[in-house]
A and B are shown apart, each in its own frame.
Chain A
Amino acid sequence: MKNSKKILQKALGISFLVSIIIFQGCKKSFLDVNPAGNTAASQFWKTQDDATKAVSAMYANLHEWTNIAFAPIAVESMGSDDVLKGSTAVDASFMNDFHNFTANSGEGQISDFWGGEYKTINFANQVLDNVPGISMDATLKARYLAEAKFVRAWAYFRLVRAFGDVPLRLHVPKGASEYNIPRTPKAQVWAAIETDLTDAAAVLPQSYAAADIGRVTKGAALALHAKAAMYQKKWSDVLNYTNLVMGLGYSLFPNYEQLFRTNNKNNSESVFEIQCALVPNNPNASNSQYSQVQGVDGSTGGGWGFNVPSASLVAAYETGDPRKDATIIFRGETTPEGDVIPSNGNSSMYNQKSYVPFSLYVSGYNEGCQQNKIALRYADVLLMNAEANNELGNAAAALIPLEQVRARARAGNNAILPKVTTTDPAALRTAIYNERRVELALEFDRYFDVIRQGRGVEVFGPRGFTAGKNEVWPLPQNEIDLSAGTLVQNPNY
């Protein structure tokens, strides 16, 4: 008995000691546990594959909710005279605050838009800061950096248009001291946009092989540069960059209505197009709600019916202009794809440019998540060229691209849309403004066009547009609160 007791005691005592020795001996490795499920950032930015993934993430972010759906509708569209809020009277009634210029700094869509663009900027800056250090194919590296510069310029373009001065981040903030920075004057933001676009255009290819279609091109960089110049009224730059784009082989897609359908993605007219798809078994990747939020409500898939065409837009079309029917879905109509639009619903008209035929609807996915969004197209380039020529006193030269756009719309029917012939600069300017409105209707340009043309009070005044205030939206209040005084609100908000 005594023996066995001793043996037991010893055995346990030894096991206790052994346990301590084992754990002391290897305690360092015992507590060194890899973060489960995630790769540490320190392991990233090592290979070409990492660079490829980071560039992909940057593109992916462009079709995310705050970049493509509600916030852009509020900030970039609702203020225009082309649209009404849509849906039921009470649904997202804050959209009316954008339409009526009563939106204040607390509007969630303003902070969503702001945050969405800065997420894009972060993804671009991550590439621009980190890819240079990766040893990889030099040509590909240069192209990735150029793609990132374009995307960053695109985000700043949207920000500066919407808010004026904004904090300019050209690098990933290195630490807390770089988080809270003041607004940079908009002239400097424009300059940074132009630098990025110059750099991008110098490197980006004119086109891609089939597998890479959808990435940004030289044409996209030049076209965006032209547009950036146009917002600054740098007309000779606009002319210069549009001329360069016009030498790259783009052409207007013959059928205006079909230009926007999913089976004509990345067509000859497309200059910069946000790529979206229905990825089977991956609703998170199929996350574009661009089409859904504007879709016909009370129909298959249940569109939300926002951002609907206004009577003012309908009236803007010249008699017989086929673009009216191609741009607007009228309740009760049958679409060219054969969808019968129910005759009862919240609105009488819907955006046809975001329309996806009902047959493509797959439940469990956002309705119309397949729809690409054309962000820059050749007709826009032609009209910028026309506007620049006219502003520079070359009315005759302006008439040529203007006629190109009208001729395509005419679709061979010479009874409609007569050729514009006036060389009176003021009359031609009006003609070009009207042409931009109807050609690019519901493409999120009209609102900012009117403001840059200095016609805010004239066109939006009856709805509440006030000069000296409504040229820009207020900065998000949450952001001002968090900055503790570093960010100063836009005047009169």
Chain B
Amino acid sequence: MKRIFTISGLVLLFFFFINTAFAQNSTIKGKVTDATTGETLIGVSVSVKGTSTGTQTDVNGAYTLAAPSGSTLTFTYIGYATQQIAVNGQTELNVKLLAQASELQQVVVIGYGTQRKLDNTGSVSSVKGVEVSKQASTNALSALQGKVSGVNITNNGTPGSSPLISIRGLGTIYGNVSPLFVVDGTWYSDISFLNNNDIENVTILKDASSTAIYGVRAANGVVLITTKHGVKGRPVVNYNGYAGWQAATNGVKMADATEYATAVNELVGYSNHGVAPGDVKPPLFDNPASFGKGTDWYGQILRNAFVTNHQVSLSGGTDKVTYDYSFGYLDQDGLVRNNNYKRYTLHFANDFTPVKALKIGYSANGLFSKSNDIPGGIFHQLYAAAPTLPVFYKDGTYGDPADYGTGNGNNFNPEATLDFTNSKTTNHRLTGDVHAELAILKNLKFRTSFGGDIGQTEARVYLPVYKATIAQNRTVSNLGITHNDTRNWIWENTLTYDYKIKDHKLTALVGYSAQNTRNFQNKAAADNVPYTSSGNLHTAFPDGAAVAFIPTPGDQIHTRTLSQFGRINYSFQDKYLLNASIRRDGASQFFPNPYGWFPSIGGGWVITNEQFMKDQHIFDNLKLRGSWGKVGNSVVPINPSIQTVSADPYLTAIFGNPQVPTQGASINTVVPPFIVWEKGVSSDFGIEGAFLHNRLSFEADYYNRKTEDAIFAIPILASVGTNSGSIIGNQATIQNKGFEFVLSWKDQPTRDFSYSFSGNLGVNTNKVLSVLSGKNPIYSGGTGIVNGNLATRTVVGEPIGEFYGYKVTGVFQTAAEVAASNQKNAQPGDFIYQDLNGDHSIDTRDRTVIGNPNPKISYGFNTAFTYKQFDLAIDLQGVADVDVYNANIGYRFANENFTQDFYDHRWHGAGTSNTYPSTNIGSNDNSKPNTFFVESGAYFRVRNAQLGYTLPGNSLKKYGVQKIRFYANAQNAINIFGYKGFTPEIGGAVGNKGIDADVYPLFATYNFGVNVTF
């Protein structure tokens, strides 16, 4: 091998000599920096125009290049405008690249390649890695919130969990609505293994012409992530660390003990309405005032949670080898006491160039995490627990709700729940790829890559023997262990051909890909496992334990995909653009008819490059583009039209004397006779432009996205006798259409001061175009939280999954009002429902549409300022015109606590309220889906605010420090919304979307960090 290198070096030298024989070469040196921030730019491609000679800037942004003195140098960098500078005999060329200012000149990452944004005819947004790592979020996705138009991110507060992301509205319904993530060419459905600091670039492909090259997995959009790779230069060590805390914010205040006791006594009174004299119950609390404030359960269990994150990286390289290694450590406490998540990440990337025509390399990401998990349902417990219950009695024993007779709705002491929870999860994951790129001919490149995702999650739950209260105790210990293994691989091969002659520019790509996705789960449990130590309990059952294996057939997944694809990008004179692609995917989910075709086409017109625009000075850039494409959705149940046998543990019959359990099996599902691919067909029209010397730029898109033959389950007649009560099928065609606008202003008025503003706005309307059931509506949303009532309806011509229920016109004040009404069984304090059909009775025929859970408007506003050594960035973000169903208020079994708001406004006697009902809100009639529970889900928040200070240039050079920056960051510090629940950010599957069953408080994060480069 070494000899090959030597020979290739000689050959290279030889070529240089040839070159110099024809032109007078000189060595040009220089430094490339960001025009706005002055930051050095690492890895900028510097090439001599019209030749294959080129280099990259090193870690100091410096480059050295031999070029003819009359030549022109081209500077290209992802996310920056490409600059061309004539050498004109100079030997030092310091270049400032303008970030984003000229959107059209940017190079953007696209599927299986890169492209000048100018040449792109689809809708593509990119976010630089530095924007991601700058935010103090532990997951890359949550750092994107409010940064990209049309992208909606819903955070979930549990440490280590991934937020929900939806691109351009809700396109698919079944299962996962997440986009496809492609990290360095390998496909993932979740990227929680990535450390933000390892990300170089995030690109979001939004329209079907951009995503169609990903065919069957592209229905929800595609997010392309490039991780950091080393660049030529001396080794650079970078340290980035922060520490801070999370605190619950915008919490819902609950009634205190005196108020609670008062409310419960009222409730007992209402519950006695119409009850036989023998069953009338006395008030529960003799003297409500004697309880004082009582226990604040949120205060008792929640805390300000500490978080710290450190990352060290080493990168550098030579002509032949580059490297980037990093190690990250995150230690994050949860808001609930004892909840903790620790994550260790490793990133390794090496690229070798053994000969000029060949590049080989790999990237690998390792993850190890472990968490102390929270008890299931603890947040509901905090919401429902009686404030009259002391945490502990004076003798140190747990306060027992049974002593107060508050019943089964809140028969728990959350402190006992927490104290006797012993659940841990560990996760090992190795992801990455090896790749090789070979220039077969001058313009013909072959690339092959093999990527893998190997993971194992191990969750163990230990239930100790204890006695806290009458309801909370165990006489037998139990250890449950669940193993989840992932073994995925993907092999992708592409041939790329670049052709350029005169005014014609053509890039053609063909590719071939195979992938395998496997996930399997083993679950086992044993009783009577003595507690020894957390350590050995984590790994195995002790000798002699009676281990029972629990089948989890639903968690075994094995799918394969085999694909061929091709794409052509053509441009004429940089004015007229044409992009077309096609992919043929075979997916085992649809076997025996596995194949589907996914074409796309896009065209563009760069008006500013026309002759007639040469003399105008208004537009620096102006481009029109349009595209159409078709994508698939493979996140469907596996072989959905194949009926399977159910052998769930509950199907165990008992026979004999003595009794012997006998596992049964039978069929209790129905499947459609056949199922066809779900297709996303969308068109997109966009205009992009820049004015005022690229300081002001805009981009506007109109899109129309149809999901045809959407696959999801709908309720089926219970008399069919299925276990789930539902059937899967190609149920509906759904349309999402809307506009997206981005307007940015960037300027540097003085040497010391620069600033930028960027606003984005997405307007989306959702409509169902057809449903399989024809005119019949699809009723759904009948989860426990709405007491089993079907709370949503999907009907042709309306948004999907609208809230459906009764209209409240007021609250009965007197018995006389009740007697004169259509609701004879009501009592004062109950809701008055509108008799919509005028038949003088209130029944299900009086239901109507009462809200829309699909957000219409999402927006973001990002600002950045730098002044001398200071930098400040503030990101604002919000959602408007959306409804939320606040189900928690009506979800009551017994004497659960009330919110302060409800207590203060409740009806408690004639004239006290005509909007809020009495404390009997959990009654069957009052808790039916109705307008009282529907609230606006609009919110506005200061998503992120960061102030940084960089020490002046040379002060630390003598210690080998290139740069030190200190910063303070606040995330979610200010949240404004009218919603009475914890947070209006509500996810949920279609049909249940927007029904708020969560009582997890919103949290703000405050961090202080430092970034050091050696």
A: residues with CB less than 8 A from B are 1, 4-5, 8-9, 12-13, 15-16, 19-20, 23, 27, 30-44, 50, 53-61, 63-64, 84-85, 87-94, 96-97, 99-100, 102, 104-108, 111-112, 114-115, 118-123, 125-127, 166-167, 169, 172-173, 175-176, 179-181, 210-215, 265-266, 275-277, 279-282, 284-285, 287, 297-300, 302, 304, 310-312, 344-346, 361-364, 463, 476-484
Contacts and interface: CB of A to CB of B under 8 A. Distances in A.
Interface in B281-335: 281, 284
Contact of A284 (B358, B650, B659): B650
A59 B661 CA distance: 11
B462 interface: no
B662 interface: yes
Contacts of B645: 38-41, 43-44
Contacts of B894: 87-88, 90-91
Contacts of A212: 655-656
Contact of A213 (B10, B446, B657): B657
Nearest first, the 9 A-B pairs at minimum CB distance are: A122-B721, A37-B556, A56-B664, A57-B664, A88-B407, A281-B548, A89-B271, A285-B652, A284-B649
Contact of A9 (B281, B357, B716): B357
A88 B556 contact: no
Contact of B717 (A42, A60, A479): A479
B407 A277 contact: no
A411 to B, nearest CB: 26
Contacts of B725: 115
Interface in B394-437: 402, 405-409, 411, 436
B562 A31 contact: yes
A130 to B, nearest CB: 8
Given A36-B520, A214-B654, 7 more contacts: A16-B448, A33-B558, A60-B664, A90-B271, A100-B274, A108-B789, A298-B405
Given A32-B591, A105-B843, A87 B407 contact: yes
A298 B471 CA distance: 8
Contacts of B85: none
Nearest to B775: A484
B638 interface: yes
Contacts of B4: 1, 4
Given A118-B720, A479-B717, A1 B11 contact: yes
Contacts of B408: 87-88, 91, 297, 302, 304
Interface in B32-66: none
Nearest to A178: B720
Given A9-B440, A37-B554, A60-B653, A482 B844 contact: no
A362 to B, nearest CB: 6
B94 interface: no
A227 B263 CA distance: 48
B470 A298 contact: yes
Contacts of B773: 484
B788 A111 contact: yes
B661 A285 contact: yes
Contacts, number: 375
A378 to B, nearest CB: 18
Contact of B644 (A30, A41, A60, A112): A41
Interface in B837-884: 843-844
A91 B438 contact: no
B409 A90 contact: yes
Given A35-B644, A90-B268, A60 B652 contact: yes
A31 B594 contact: yes
Given A285-B649, A482-B779, A41 B825 contact: no
A20 B892 CA distance: 60
A21 B638 CA distance: 27
Contacts of A210: 656-657
A105 B592 CA distance: 44
Given A31-B562, A114-B718, A484-B776, A36 B638 contact: yes
Contacts of A312: 278
A279 B267 CA distance: 40
By CB atoms of chain A within 10 A, which of B268, B718, B787 has the most? B718
Contacts of A53: 647, 663-666
9 contacts: A31-B562, A38-B556, A56-B655, A90-B409, A93-B271, A275-B659, A276-B654, A284-B649, A285-B663
A54 B548 contact: no
B505 interface: no
Interface stretch (B104-112, B667-675, B748-756): B667-675
Contacts of A90: 267-268, 271, 407, 409, 892-895, 920, 922
A56 B271 contact: no
Contacts of B646: 57
Contact of A363 (B474, B662, B718): B474
Contacts of B665: 39, 44, 50, 53-54, 56-57
